[in-house]
Each structure stands twice: as structure tokens, then as C-alpha cells.
Amino acid sequence: MLAVKVPKQEAEKARRKLIELGVLAKGYAIRREGEFILFPLIEPVEGFELVEADFERLEKRPHSYREVVEVPDEVRPLLPSSFDIIGDIAIIELPKELMPYGKAIGEAILRVHRHIKAVFAKGSKVSGEYRVRELIHLAGERRTETLHRENGIRLKLDVARVYFSPRLATERMRIFEKTRPGEVVFDMFAGVGPYAVLLAKKAKLVFAVDLNPWAVRYLEENIGLNKVDNVVPVLGDVRKVAGQLKADRVIMNLPKFADRFLREAMLSVRDGGVVHYYGFGPDGDLFSEHEAKIKTVARELGLGVEFLGERKVRPYAPRQFNIAIDFQVLK
Ligand SMILES: C[S@@+](CC[C@H](N)C(=O)[O-])C[C@H]1O[C@@H](n2cnc3c(N)ncnc32)[C@H](O)[C@@H]1O
């Protein structure tokens, strides 16, 4: 095919020019010939030395595992279009009809996404106090520990032993943007520290509590990994710590049970401090049940509350959303 021949040292400039002119042929490997580089063309172009040359076709890389996975036609429409990626581990939710093809699905994911080293299927819902789920190994390494990057921090964690959702990254950044220098933050359900370590980059001090010993082990490691020296990790039930500090900002990232800890949150915030409350709500009436609970607890404690903002964080189940309510406590 027709090609442009340029000296090696002019290759990058020529490549940009050919792209700009829209004449560079796509899908071919660029060739090297001694001190020259050859670019394939779709049509002749002026101002360059033109030659005839053969080019190797580049393999078209699939974008989705669904393009390469082999499953019977009748279950193909059930293949999920997305899955979670935590570090180099993929976690996919498969309907039971697809479970017999789990290995093929896992291997297809590994083939298409080269940075993924292990694939697991969700084996249960998130449950228990630690909010963890069972995982079923599908393909790749039988390893559940990984290093995840999010919002400029690094988080080491074990996906089988602690709760972690990469889908909350944007929400965590939202809270980071609200945090002001000098603040004392109380992260009531800290996990491995995605809020605590991030907010420590801005706040004066972050108290980070969790009941799960594995979560606190990783939290401590993540404090070191990210070189923050203003996070106080606490292993234990947050009820034992609550009320002993007066924070400017409280984070209640335990959507399933946060309502049970409203008293502790309100007692731990200073006058005018802000609580970030999370819950689940049905589409159509996302917030009212939670607002009512917040008002009731405030009334019982003789406190005032002012609602600052409410938002959907992410879909949780059919017609159910993970929601966030920000409110200020007036003492
Ligand atoms: C939904 S996870 C959130 C973890 C973390 N904030 C994140 O964004 O990844 C809730 C965490 O609360 C912890 N937890 C549950 N009950 C608790 C309690 N009573 N006291 C302290 N931590 C608790 C669980 O172990 C779990 O790590």
C-alpha cells in the first residue's frame, strides 16, 4: 500500500501531520526500515516522500468481555454489561443461569482487561455487621488482597474480608470538597479508610472507627501508605467512642443501619457541625422516612436540625437508591 517514508527523528512530527490531514491509515502497524519510519496512507499526500510498502494488520482488540465469551445463545442476553473493579480484581454479579459459565466469563474478562488478575462472582448479598459478602472464584489468581487507587490515594484491602465499594468514589470526593482545613472529622464506619485517609489531606484530625479488625488493620496500613499522620484509627463499636468528641463533620457511611446511630452522631458533633447521613430509600419517596427519623432523634435530644442537602448516591436494588442527607446540628 501507499506509504510515507520519513527519517526516524522526524517520525513523530510527521505522524501528527498525517493525522491532522486525515490521511494516516488506521489498523496497521507502523514499519521501521533502518533509519526510516514508514506510515501507511489512505491516499497520496504532498510534501512527503511516498513509497509502496506492505503493512501488518493490527489485531482489533475487543472492548468488552461479551465480545469474546463463549456461552449458549439463550443466556447471552443475561451477560452483565458492567462489573466492579477493585485494584486488579474484578467482581461480577451473575444471575444463576450464568453461574455454570462462570469460568468462561472470568477468563474472557482476564483476556480483554489485561490489568485484571483475578475474577470473582458475588456469592451473596452484603450482610452482617462487617457488611461483607461471599465471593466465588471464577478465574485468575486465587487472591483477594489488592491495592486500589481512588481520588489520588492508595488503599490496600482484602475484598473478601472488608467492605469496599469503588462506586462511592464520587461521593467521597464530594465530602472532601466540603471539608475545610482545620476541621475535626468523625468517620463512624470507616472501613479501610477511603473517606478518612482522603479527608485527612485537608482536615486537622480524623477519628476513624470500625468494628471489623481486618478493616482497621488495612486502615492502619493505608494511613502509612498515604503518609497521613492525622488519622486516629479506633477498633471497636462506635457507640463506645461517640459523645467523647465534638467533631465539625460526622460521616455515617452505614446505609443499612445508620438510623440506629443517629443519637451517637448528634452527640458527637459540635454546635453548627454537619452530619453526612446515608441510607436506602425507595424511588419516588427517597428521603422522607430518613428525615422523620433525624427530626425525632434531634427532638429527643433537645437539638435543632437544618437540612442542607439531599441526593441520590447510586442505584442499590430495583427501584431502591443509596441516598445521602447532609444536615447541620444546632445545639
Ligand atoms: C458500608 S461499610 C463502609 C466502609 C467505608 N466507609 C467505605 O466507604 O468503604 C460500613 C462499615 O461499618 C462497620 N461497622 C458496622 N457496625 C459498626 C459499629 N457499630 N461500630 C463501628 N463500625 C461498625 C463495618 O465493619 C463496615 O466496615
Q: What is the CATH number of the domain that holds 22?
A: 3.30.70.2580
Q: For residue 262, give Cα distances in angstroms to 80, 228, 285.
A: 37, 29, 20
Residue with cell 505522524: 15
> For ligand 1, which residues put their CB under 6 angstroms from it?
129-131, 163-164, 168, 189-191, 194-195, 209-212, 215, 237-238, 253-254
In this structure, are 247 and 325 located in the same domain? yes
Domain of residue 47: give its range.
Answer: 2-52
Rounded to the nearest angstrom, the gap between the alpha carbon of residue 162 and the centroid of all alpha carbons in its chain is: 15
List, in order, residues 6 or more apart from 319 with CB less than 8 Å away.
Answer: 282, 283, 284
Over the Cα atoms of the chain, what is R_g? 26
Q: Name the residue of 127, 153, 176, 211 whose CB sits within 8 Å of the most ligand 1 atoms, as the mutation to test its pocket.
A: 211
Q: For residue 307, give Cα distances in angstroms to 269, 284, 286, 291, 295.
A: 15, 19, 15, 9, 10
The widest CA-to-CA distance across the chain, in whole angstroms, is 85
For the stretch 211-228, pLDDT in tens is 999 999 999 999 999 999
In the reported structure, the alpha carbon of residue 210 is separated from the centroid of ligand 1 by a whole-number distance in angstroms of 6
Asked, for residue 317, whether it belongs to a domain, the answer is yes
In the reported structure, the alpha carbon of residue 145 is separated from the centroid of ligand 1 by a whole-number distance in angstroms of 19
In this structure, are 173 and 207 located in the same domain? yes
pLDDT at 17: 95
In this structure, are 176 and 317 located in the same domain? yes
List, in order, residues 6 or more apart from 323 with CB less than 8 Å away.
Answer: 255, 278, 279, 280, 281, 286, 287, 290, 310, 311, 312, 313
Asked, for residue 150, whether it belongs to a domain, the answer is no
Q: Name the residue of 151, 153, 163, 239 whose CB sits within 8 Å of the most ligand 1 atoms, as the mutation to test its pocket.
A: 163
Question: Which atom belonging to ligand 1 lies closest to the Cα atom of 256?
Answer: 1
In the reported structure, the alpha carbon of residue 105 is separated from the centroid of ligand 1 by a whole-number distance in angstroms of 31
For residue 117, pLDDT beyond 90: yes
Asked, for residue 41, whether it belongs to a domain, the answer is yes
For the stretch 183-215, pLDDT in tens is 999 999 999 999 999 999 999 999 999 999 999
**Residue nearest atom 24 of ligand 1, based on CA coordinates:** 130
3-state secondary structure of 168: helix
pLDDT at 160: 98
Residue with cell 442542607: 308
**Domain total of the chain:** 3
3-state secondary structure of 264: helix
Burial of 41 (0-12, 13-18, 19+ CB in 10 A): buried
For residue 24, pLDDT beyond 90: yes
* Model confidence band, residue 29 (pLDDT cutoffs 50, 70, 90): very high
Q: What number of residues does the chain have? A: 331
Q: Where are the beta strands (DSSP E) in the chain?
A: 2-7, 31-33, 36-40, 49-52, 84-86, 89-92, 118-122, 135-140, 145-150, 153-158, 184-187, 205-210, 231-235, 247-252, 269-282, 304-317, 320-330
In the reported structure, the alpha carbon of residue 220 is separated from the centroid of ligand 1 by a whole-number distance in angstroms of 15
Alpha helices in the chain (DSSP H): 11-21, 102-112, 169-178, 196-199, 213-225, 238-241, 262-267, 288-301
In the reported structure, the alpha carbon of residue 107 is separated from the centroid of ligand 1 by a whole-number distance in angstroms of 32
pLDDT at 97: 97
In the reported structure, the alpha carbon of residue 238 is separated from the centroid of ligand 1 by a whole-number distance in angstroms of 9
In this structure, are 174 and 304 located in the same domain? yes
For the stretch 149-171, pLDDT in tens is 999 999 999 999 999 999 999 99
- Residue 267 C-alpha cell reads as 452527640
Beta pairing, strands 2-7 & 36-40? antiparallel
**Residue nearest atom 22 of ligand 1, based on CA coordinates:** 210
